[in-house]
C-alpha cells in the first residue's frame, strides 16, 4: 500500500528560477503523498536543487551531498535526489562521485520528479534491487539528463513558499551564450510558456493570497509566446489582485521602447529594472559576447530614466574576466559613477569548463580578482549608500513581508524600488501595503517608522 504521509526535505541553491522549479517539483511530489519538512532527519526524501553558475555554488552542493551520507547509512530507505543545473551538467558523474545519491534529474526533466521517485519507491518496496547483479549500481540509480531543452511542465500546481511574493516563470532556457556563462548549456534553448497558462498561474497565485508576482526568465525581453513581453506584462498588470508586478532578468540588448512605455504606464508594475551590465569596458563586453557597448547601455539608462523618473536600477558585474587589466577596471569604476546604480551584485569570474572564456588567454589570478572586487564594491557601496540616504525623511510605500529573522518586533518589507525596509511592528500584517517614513539609511537597507495617515 502506498503511504501518503511521507516527508520531503527540499534544499534549493541558485537563482529565482531554481526557487520556482523547486516549488513546482514540491507540487508534483505533493500529489504522491509528500509534505515538506525542515528537518532532514525526519525526511523520507531529500531533494537538492542545484546551481553551477560559479565554482563556489558547486562546492556548497557537494558539501551538502556529503553531509547526507551518514544519514543514508542510518536510514537506508531514505531517497536522496539531485536536480537542477549541476545535476544537468554532471549527470552520472554525480553518482560516481557520491554513490549514495539515488537519482539525478536534469533541468529539462524536472516535471518527471514524481515518476522517478515513485519508481524508486516501488523498487524499494518490492525489494527487487538485484544486489548480486553485477550491474546493481546502475539498476538502483536513476539518471535522467537526456533532454536539456525538455518540455515545459504544464498543469503543475506549485507548492509556493512565502505568503506575499511569488515567482511565475514565463520562459525557460537561454540563447545568448555569454562567453563566461554555463546557463545556456544547463538550461537549454529558450522556450516560452503560453500567455493563457501564465495568466492562469498568476490568477491561481492571487487566489492563494499572493500580492506580488515576479515574472521570471533568463532574458524576459526575448519572450516569444505569441505576444511581446511588454504586452504580456501589461496583461498581467490588469489581472485583479496583482498589487505589485516585477520581472527579471532583462538583457540590455533587448530592452525595448515598448517595454519602457509599459513600465511607465503600468499600474502595479514596480519602478525597478534589474539590468545586468556585467562590465564597464567595451573591450571586455565584446569578449563576453554581450553585444552592446558602454555607450549603448548609458543611452538606454537615460531613456529609461526619462520615461520612468523614480526608477531604481540594479545590476550584476563580474570582475577578473580573462584579459581584464587595471585600466579596464578603472573604466568600469567610472562607468559605475556615471550610471549611479541603486545596487550591484558583484561576482568574481569563475571558470566554467565547456564555456569559451574558460580557454581564453590571460586568465586573472585570484589575488588580483579579489583586489579588483574590493575596489568595485567600495565605489558601488558609496553610491548605494548615497542613493539610500537621499530617501531619508521621505515616505515610501512598503509591502509588508513579516517579522525579521532576528527580532519579531521588527518587520521587514520592500519598497516598489525593491529596497529592503525594517520598521517597528504595530498592527501590520504580512501582505499589507503601508506607508513608511524613512529615518535611517544603510548600504543594503533602510529603516523607518510606520506613517499613520491622519484622518481629518
Interface with ligand SAH (CB under 6 A): 53-54, 180-181, 183, 218-219, 249, 251, 276, 278, 316, 318, 347, 349-350, 352
- Whichever of 219 and 234 has its CB closer to ligand SAH, that residue is 219
State the Cα torsion 237-242-246-247 to the nearest 10°. Answer: -70
Give the length of the chain: 456
CB of 352: closest distance to ligand SAH in angstroms?
Answer: 5
Q: Cell for 140?
A: 538502483
183 binds ligand F3S (CB under 6 A): yes
**Whether 245 contacts 234, CB under 8 Å:** no
Of the candidate spans 11-19, 160-168, 199-207, 337-345, the one that interacts with ligand F3S by CB under 6 A turns out to be 11-19
Residues 6+ positions from 440 with CB-CB distance below 8 Å: 392, 446, 447, 448
- Whichever of 210 and 347 has its CB closer to ligand SAH, that residue is 347
Please, what is the Cα angle at 235 between 234 and 237, to 5 degrees? 60
x-marked contacts with ligand F3S along 41-80 as a string, rule CB under 6 A: ----------xxx---------------------------
Residue 159 interacts with which of ligand SF4, ligand F3S, ligand SAH, none, CB < 5 to 8 Å by class: none
148 binds ligand F3S (CB under 6 A): no
**Whether 237 contacts 267, CB under 8 Å:** yes
Q: CA 182, 187, 188, 192 torsion: positive or negative?
A: negative
**Whether 160 contacts 205, CB under 8 Å:** yes
- Whichever of 275 and 400 has its CB closer to ligand SAH, that residue is 275
- Whichever of 34 and 321 has its CB closer to ligand SF4, that residue is 321
- Whichever of 176 and 340 has its CB closer to ligand SF4, that residue is 176
187 binds ligand F3S (CB under 6 A): yes
14 binds ligand F3S (CB under 6 A): yes
**Whether 230 contacts 247, CB under 8 Å:** no
CB of 389: closest distance to ligand SF4 in angstroms?
Answer: 31
- Whichever of 18 and 388 has its CB closer to ligand SF4, that residue is 18
Of the candidate spans 14-22, 39-47, 229-237, 420-428, the one that interacts with ligand F3S by CB under 6 A turns out to be 14-22
- Whichever of 184 and 448 has its CB closer to ligand F3S, that residue is 184
**Whether 266 contacts 238, CB under 8 Å:** no
Residue 443 interacts with which of ligand SAH, ligand F3S, ligand SF4, none, CB < 5 to 8 Å by class: none
What is the full DSSP assignment across 1-49? Answer: ---S-EEEEEEE-SSHHHHHHHHHHHHHHHTTTEEE-S-GGG-SEEEEE
- Whichever of 251 and 387 has its CB closer to ligand SF4, that residue is 251
**Whether 166 contacts 213, CB under 8 Å:** yes
- Whichever of 217 and 448 has its CB closer to ligand F3S, that residue is 217
**Whether 37 contacts 10, CB under 8 Å:** no
User: Can you give the binding site for ligand SF4, defined by CB under 6 A?
Assistant: 174, 176-178, 181, 183-184, 218-219, 251
Helix axes 326-339, 366-389, angle to 10 degrees: 10
Element of type H or E holding 191: strand 191-192
Which residue from 17, 19, 65, 436 is in contact with ligand F3S, where contact means CB under 6 A? 17
Residue 417 interacts with which of ligand SAH, ligand F3S, ligand SF4, none, CB < 5 to 8 Å by class: none
CA distances from 429 to 34, 162, 438 (A): 30, 13, 19
Number of chain positions touching ligand F3S (CB under 6 A): 12
Binding site for ligand F3S (CB under 6 A): 14-15, 17-18, 51-53, 84-85, 183, 186-187
Amino acid at each position: 500500500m502506498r503511504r501518503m504521509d511521507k516527508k520531503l526535505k527540499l534544499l534549493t541553491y541558485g537563482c529565482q528560477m531554481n526557487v520556482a522549479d523547486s516549488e513546482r517539483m514540491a507540487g508534483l511530489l505533493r500529489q504522491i503523498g509528500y509534505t515538506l519538512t525542515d528537518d532532514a532527519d525526519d525526511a523520507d526524501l531529500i531533494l537538492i536543487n542545484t546551481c553551477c553558475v560559479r565554482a563556489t555554488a558547486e562546492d556548497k552542493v557537494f558539501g551538502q551531498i556529503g553531509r547526507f551520507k551518514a544519514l543514508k547509512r542510518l536510514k537506508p530507505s531514505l531517497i536522496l535526489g539531485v536536480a537542477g543545473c549541476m545535476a544537468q551538467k554532471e549527470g552520472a558523474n554525480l553518482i560516481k562521485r557520491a554513490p549514495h545519491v539515488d537519482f539525478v534529474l536534469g533541468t529539462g526533466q524536472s516535471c518527471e520528479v514524481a515518476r522517478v521517485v515513485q519508481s524508486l519507491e516501488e523498487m524499494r518496496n518490492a525489494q527487487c534491487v538485484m544486489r548480486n547483479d553485477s550491474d546493481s549500481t546502475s539498476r538502483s540509480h536513476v539518471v535522467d539528463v537526456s533532454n536539456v531543452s525538455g518540455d515545459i511542465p504544464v498543469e503543475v500546481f506549485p507548492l509556493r513558499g512565502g505568503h506575499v511574493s511569488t515567482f511565475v516563470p514565463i520562459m525557460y532556457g537561454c540563447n545568448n551564450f555569454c562567453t563566461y556563462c554555463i546557463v545556456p548549456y544547463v538550461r537549454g534553448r529558450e522556450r516560452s510558456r503560453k500567455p493563457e497558462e501564465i495568466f492562469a498561474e498568476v490568477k491561481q497565485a492571487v487566489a492563494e493570497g499572493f500580492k506580488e508576482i515576479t515574472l521570471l526568465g533568463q532574458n524576459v525581453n526575448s519572450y516569444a509566446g505569441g505576444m511581446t513581453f511588454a504586452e504580456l506584462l501589461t496583461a498581467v498588470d490588469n489581472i485583479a489582485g496583482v498589487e505589485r508586478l516585477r520581472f527579471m532578468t532583462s538583457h540590455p540588448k533587448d530592452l525595448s521602447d515598448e517595454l519602457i512605455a509599459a513600465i511607465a504606464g503600468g499600474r502595479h508594475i514596480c519602478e525597478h529594472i534589474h539590468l545586468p551590465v556585467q562590465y564597464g569596458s567595451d573591450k571586455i563586453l565584446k569578449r563576453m559576447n554581450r553585444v552592446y557597448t558602454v555607450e549603448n547601455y548609458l543611452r538606454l539608462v537615460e531613456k529609461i530614466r526619462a520615461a520612468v523618473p523614480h526608477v531604481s536600477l540594479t545590476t550584476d558585474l563580474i570582475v577578473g574576466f580573462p584579459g581584464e587589466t587595471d585600466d579596464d577596471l578603472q573604466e568600469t569604476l567610472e562607468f559605475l559613477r556615471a550610471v549611479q546604480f541603486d545596487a550591484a551584485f558583484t561576482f568574481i569570474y569563475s571558470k566554467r569548463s565547456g564555456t569559451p572564456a574558460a580557454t581564453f588567454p590571460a586568465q586573472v589570478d585570484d589575488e588580483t580578482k579579489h583586489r579588483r572586487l574590493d575596489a568595485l564594491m567600495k565605489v558601488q557601496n558609496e553610491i548605494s549608500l548615497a542613493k539610500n540616504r537621499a530617501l531619508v525623511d521621505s515616505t515610501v510605500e512598503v509591502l509588508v513581508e513579516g517579522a525579521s529573522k532576528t527580532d519579531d518586533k521588527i518587520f521587514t518589507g520592500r519598497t516598489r524600488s525593491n529596497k529592503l525596509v525594517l520598521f517597528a511592528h504595530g498592527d501590520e500584517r504580512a501582505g499589507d501595503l503601508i506607508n513608511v517614513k524613512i529615518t535611517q539609511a544603510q548600504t543594503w537597507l533602510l529603516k523607518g517608522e510606520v506613517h499613520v495617515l491622519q484622518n481629518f
